[in-house]
Amino acid sequence: MARGTLDPPPDFPLYAADRIRAAVGLPDFVEPVADAFTAFSTTDGAQAPVMVPHVADGGDSHIKAAHLPGGRHLFVKIANWFPGNQTRGMPEGGGFVALFDAATGAVTAVLEDEHHLSDLRPAAAGAVCALALARPDVIRATVLGTGRQAGLQTSALTLVRPVRQLRLWGRDHRRATVLADRLGRELPHVDVTAVTDPERAVRRSDLVVTATASPTPILCGSWLRSGQHITALGADAPAERELDGACLRRATPVIVDNRELALRYGDIHTVVARGEVTADRIDGGPDGAEGH
């Protein structure tokens, strides 16, 4: 290659984040995510391996792959999350998705989504979870968390359930207030309020979402009543936990999207490892019901 010349363009499409954001929004994700859960749960040999290297200052990289036997493609996703970037004036999230031909291994597309698709997927999964498992008359909801996913979960929930009252709680009440104000403008049909007492909000809710990176439980089983639905999604590392043991003992059923991973990470991993709940109470994944 001569000095000063450019490499030839790749022979596969490369999609930049701005184009992806313009083409794909949260409502577009709900039905495909539901279909993906169904396919993953009912297809023999479905694969979705995960690796999560943790690095300095609380940063991590979620490296995930997926393939369904007989499918034309396989994909690998790298989603980085570095919360320390807030102080550097840089985006917290980044990464890309690479799509490959399952027969040849050739790259067929690369999507530099800057975490956009990684943000929308769990939000849509929360909507699928509520649609499949929560009562259809859910009106009052509480979200525990103040980050981007807490806001997306709220928006996703309103796509599938007639929520009219939403309470937001976070350990930083200022952040909860900022998020409540924004969601109140985006969802004018919903009464959105930041609260300081999570127990009171949970007790008065039909549905509760936990979306934090907490290392200790933020939701107690003693706060719950029969008929409530809980969507817990924030604990995605072995040392993270949002639910206490009583939550899992009281839940019937306990549904996860991937049973193998749930036993390695987060709330399920912790309560099973401590003997607070037995593994046979956990349903979901390729050998069980789909869910979240």
Domain ranges of the chain: 14-116, 122-284
How far apart, in Å, do the first and last CA atoms of the chain sit? Answer: 50
CATH fold of 122-284, please? Rossmann fold (3.40.50)
Cα separation, 149 vs 280, whole angstroms: 30
Selected from 1.10.3720.10, 3.40.120.10, 3.40.50.1100, 3.30.1780.10, the CATH number assigned to the domain covering 14-116 reads: 3.30.1780.10
Kindly report the pTM of this predicted structure.
Answer: 0.87
**Bridge partners of residue 208, in order along the sequence:** 142, 230
One pLDDT digit (tens) per residue for the chain, 292 residues: 455 565 666 678 999 999 999 999 999 999 999 999 999 889 999 988 888 888 877 788 889 999 999 999 999 999 998 888 888 888 888 889 999 999 999 999 999 999 999 999 999 999 999 999 999 999 999 999 999 999 999 999 999 999 999 999 999 999 999 999 999 999 999 999 999 999 999 999 999 999 998 989 999 999 999 999 999 998 877 788 999 999 989 888 888 888 888 888 888 888 888 888 888 888 765 443 333 3
Residue 84 has a pLDDT of 83
Indicate the burial class of 11 (C-beta count within 10 angstroms; 0-12, 13-18, 19 or more).
exposed
